[in-house]
Amino acid sequence: MYLVADINVDICAQTSCKLCTQFCPEANTILYNDQAGRDKGYKYGAAYVAVDRCKGCAQCVWVCDNMAKHNAIKMIMIDQLPNAAITDNIVYGEKSTTAVLAGPAVG
């Protein structure tokens, strides 16, 4: 098993500062869903991770903890994720993306 980044929507959607994706070395790995937080009653959308592209470097954790100071990202074993976004299930829109969350990424 290996670690991937996991973003806590309840924390991220309070600000949705969008910093982490600007620092993730991998393209199209941290994406934004403008609805994710609003669906839960927050003001903003939230970031999420396409786990099939994440290389587990934890740079986003450092950025969220130290630059954004939001502590919304944790590294987690991929088989421990209750559900996960993968590239095949991500739909791009005009200004945002949505992911149809699948079951455990590795079962």
Partner 1 sequence: MSLDYVKFSPGFDKFMPKEYKDMVEHGPFGKKTTVSQMGSFKEILEEHPMCAGCAMTLFIRLAMISFPNPEDTITVGTAGCGRLAISQAAIPFVYGNYGDQNGVASGLSRGLRLRFGDKPKDVVVMAGDGGMADIGFSCTLHSWFRKEKFTTIMLDNEVYGNTGGQESGMTNKGAVLKMAPLGKKFEKMDMLAMAKSAGCAYVATVVPNNPRRVEAVIKKAVLIAREIGPTYIQAYTSCNIEYAIPTDKVMEDAKNVEGDRYQFTEYVTDEAKQFLAERYGYKEFLPKPAPAVTKA
Residues that bind partner 1 (CB under 8 A): 18, 21-28, 30-32, 47, 53, 55-59, 61-63, 66-67, 87-88, 90, 92-93, 95-97
Interaction between residue 85 and ligand SF4 (CB under 6 A): no
Tell me which of partner 1, ligand SF4, none is bound by residue 35, counting a contact when its beta carbon lies within the kind-specific cut-off of 5 to 8 angstroms: none
Assess contact for 87 and 60: CB atoms under 8 A. no
Asked if residue 20 lies in contact with residue 63, where contact means CB atoms within 8 angstroms, the answer is yes
CB of residue 61 to ligand SF4, shortest distance in Å: 7
DSSP code, position 85: B
Q: Footprint of ligand SF4 on residues 5-44 (CB under 6 A)?
A: 5, 7, 12, 15-20, 24, 26, 29-30
**52 Cβ contact list (under 8 Å, min separation 6):** 86, 87, 88, 105
Q: How far apart are CA 38 and CA 50, in angstroms?
A: 20
Residue 64, φ and ψ in degrees, nearest 5: -65, -40
Q: Which stretch binds ligand SF4 (CB under 6 A): 35-43, 69-77, 86-94, 99-107?
A: 69-77
Is 81 among the residues that bind ligand SF4 (CB under 6 A)? no
